[in-house]
Structure 1
Amino acid sequence: MASHGLTYEGCNFLRQRLVLSTLSGKRVKIKNIRSKDDEPGLRDFEASFIRLLDKVTNGSTIEINQTGTVLVYQPGLLYGGTVEHDCNPQRSVGYYLEALLMLGPFMKSPLKATLRGVTNDLTDPTVDLLKSTALPVMKKFGIDGEGFDIKVAKRGMAPGGGGEVVFTCPVRKTVRPVQLTDPGKIKRIRGVAYSVRVSPQMGNRIVESARGILNQFLPDIYIYTDHMKGANSGKSPGFGLTLVAETLNGCFLSAEMSSTPQGQGDPILPEDLGRNCAKLLLEEIYRGGCVDSSNQSLALLLMTLGQQDVSKVLLGPLSPYTPLLADDNIPKFTSSASNAKIRS
């Protein structure tokens, strides 16, 4: 192995390692990927993610051994342009989109990515959540401009998928340092209750039960219903709710829940889903911080890639995905200094 590369073991943080490798231009070797499992090696959704990275870069070399337990990735130039990708339905589009949000601003040409697959599931951040919380975080770092958007063209619930999302992102040469140390009080709550291939009444039932809890704390609450029909409704029935609380200082804290996928476990009532999601939002507000737990790693990455200036961000308790960016073993970015103030 060449001395300028980094070697890791296991499948943990696979996405983050490949994203950081792509941004820093450093080669990585990941070995012993699930080597002791009954089914060793990369999963289908991870292979699909690697194919997506190959599409947005130019000149990457990817080597995977026969059992899929060793991956060597030498990143090429971040090219961007127009990309179409069919995401593996084992994970939602959010799994792939989170990485593109980190890479998009640093491409050679503006990115227009059309991703197809599951738009809303129980595991990954949904497209609605990333649109309403990740984009505002990036705008604070100066990543903005015409065409910076996530559009949901079709919804697709797990397990069948059939959704379609278009992410467009302009190129940014520099990232602005930020001082986010005071989230401020909550001023309003917005949300979307979505339903596909079920009765449109499901959305109204979710909204009513969520408002029953949230109206005790705040009058300014608006949750709109999004019922997609026909070709735009994907292949599986389902419903869910995404809630976002906005603070006086322009910070966004979010929570979401989706219904149990068809044929997998006990179904959930829309009333229970609405109430539980409202409680999750209250929990997220209680945790505090200027960035919610689903976007902590995105904020820390943008701090690292910023100018030679100190950024400060107040975070609540760290999510399981966040610690990697504080790890000594990641590819180093020499051009910046950052200072994350972390409240536990």
Structure 2
Amino acid sequence: MSGDPGYREIDGSVMEGGGQIIRITGSLATLLQIPVNILKIRAGRASPGLKAQHLTGLHLIKDMSSGVLRGADFGSKEIFFQPGKIRGGAYQADTKSAGAVCLLAQISLPVALFAPEPTVLNLRGGTNTDMAPQIDAFTEIFLPNLKQFGPEIEYEVVKKGFFPKGGGEANFFVTPVKSLRPIQLDDPGKLISVEGWCFCAGSLPIKVAESIARSFKEELREANSPALRGVKVNIETYKETPAAAFGNGSGIVVVAKTSTGCVLGGGALGSPRETTEETGRKAAQDFLEAIECGGCVDKYVQDQMILFMGLADGESVLRTGPVTLHTESAIFITQQLTGAKFDISNDPNNNSWLIRCQGVGYKNKYL
């Protein structure tokens, strides 16, 4: 597929080699007005090429920028995208499947932040599904971390939706910014609060949520983590009303806040393939990994910070646990498209990692 003069070629199979490459490339290409040709899309996956969620996200940023998108069909392994002028306003994107709402937000929120006027994103699909952040984690953990760069995004979870039918819906209300301030998240501090939400929906009885929460707490007690000593763990269990969820589903998201303002956490989705006790234990292990990693963010937020660090106006510092392949991939693409400089170093004092970035100071040219 031939692109226009001046286009950039991106290998979609590099490193993590999944949908993340498409999302970061799409967002940055739109902001920087760079035509891109993405090749070998998800080439290493068992089922390569574009899926419903990727297609919906690409069409969304095409609409938000009056762009041109070629080759974007289900299963396509190559696309060409030429962004145009970014516009605010109201947009709707529907995967018509359990394709993740939060991944639609990942590709579109950076674009909306640099629009000429406020944007409302109505996103539909799966809100709590595998291989993507649960909506509760996105709103309660990621958005507070994004706020460190300056933006404060309002949201409304209209309805939760699960695998395989989706049917979920969320609104994001975005006020544009002139620029992003750099972050200094290098002191994890001490845990001061732990709050969680454990839900079930559809035909699943409330005892499903209660069992998940009970197992979560039991696993934490057995682990006896020094980080949790003296900290009360509050887990709210509830059943979603029929109007607030579509289909059957369950899950738990737990959020930790620290004395230095860090917000991190973990969780798990219920599944017919495992017991509620297994779900609770898995969530506890995920949460313990987050609070014991020595970082200021958990492994799920880690890679989502990279694009914003690259665009920020100045040097950002982010302390993390082990650097994930998703984060390395995000750095690779962000450096390639923005020219931002990243440096990763290990802190031998507590075996955490420091990610430094000299951001390019991207400015909203419409404000």
Q: Give TM class, smaller chain.
A: 0.7 to 0.9
Q: 1:204 maps to which residue? A: 210
CA deviation profile, 1:185-216 (whole Å, cap 9, x unmatched) = 21211111111111122222222221223354
- Flag the 1:34–1:228 CA change in 2: closer, same or farther, 3 A: closer
Q: 2:358 maps to which residue? A: none
- Flag the 1:328–1:137 CA change in 2: closer, same or farther, 3 A: closer
1:241-280 alignment to 2 at 5 Å? Answer: 241-260=252-271, 267-280=273-286
The question of 1:118 aligning with 2:126 is answered: yes
Between 157-166 and 325-334, the greater mean CA deviation after superposition: 325-334
Deviation at 1:41, TM superposition (A): 4.1
- Return 5+ residue gaps in structure 1 as ranges: 261-265
Q: 1:237 maps to which residue? A: 248
Give me the whole-angstrom Cα distance separating, in 2, the residues matched to 1:300 and 1:245.
21
- Flag the 1:331–1:73 CA change in 2: closer, same or farther, 3 A: farther
Give me the whole-angstrom Cα distance separating, in 2, the residues matched to 1:47 and 1:315.
31
CA deviation profile, 1:257-307 (whole Å, cap 9, x unmatched) = 1122xxxxx532222211220111101222221122112233222221111
Q: 2:325 maps to which residue? A: 320
Deviation at 1:90, TM superposition (A): 4.5
- Return 5+ residue gaps in structure 2 as ranges: 347-351, 354-367
Q: Which amino acid letter does the alignment assign opposite residue 4 of structure 1?
A: G
Kindly indicate whether the alpha-carbon contact (under 8 Å) linking 1:203 and 1:227 is maintained by their aligned counterparts in 2. yes
CA deviation profile, 1:148-168 (whole Å, cap 9, x unmatched) = 222211111111111111111
2:24 partner SS: helix
Q: 1:62 maps to which residue? A: 69
Kindly indicate whether the alpha-carbon contact (under 8 Å) linking 1:114 and 1:165 is maintained by their aligned counterparts in 2. yes
Give me the whole-angstrom Cα distance separating, in 2, the residues matched to 1:38 and 1:228.
34
1:244 partner SS: strand
Q: 2:362 maps to which residue? A: none
TM-score, scaled relative to structure 2: 0.82
CA RMSD of aligned residues (A): 2.5
2:315 partner SS: coil
1:2-21 alignment to 2 at 5 Å? Answer: 2=4, 4-10=6-12, 12=17, 13-21=21-29
Give me the whole-angstrom Cα distance separating, in 2, the residues matched to 1:136 and 1:213.
27
Give me the whole-angstrom Cα distance separating, in 2, the residues matched to 1:65 and 1:115.
19
Deviation at 1:332, TM superposition (A): 3.6
The question of 1:48 aligning with 2:56 is answered: yes
Q: 1:263 maps to which residue? A: none
Q: Which amino acid letter does the alignment assign opposite residue 289 of structure 2?
A: E
- Aligned sequence identity (%): 27
Deviation at 1:337, TM superposition (A): 6.5
Deviation at 1:70, TM superposition (A): 2.5
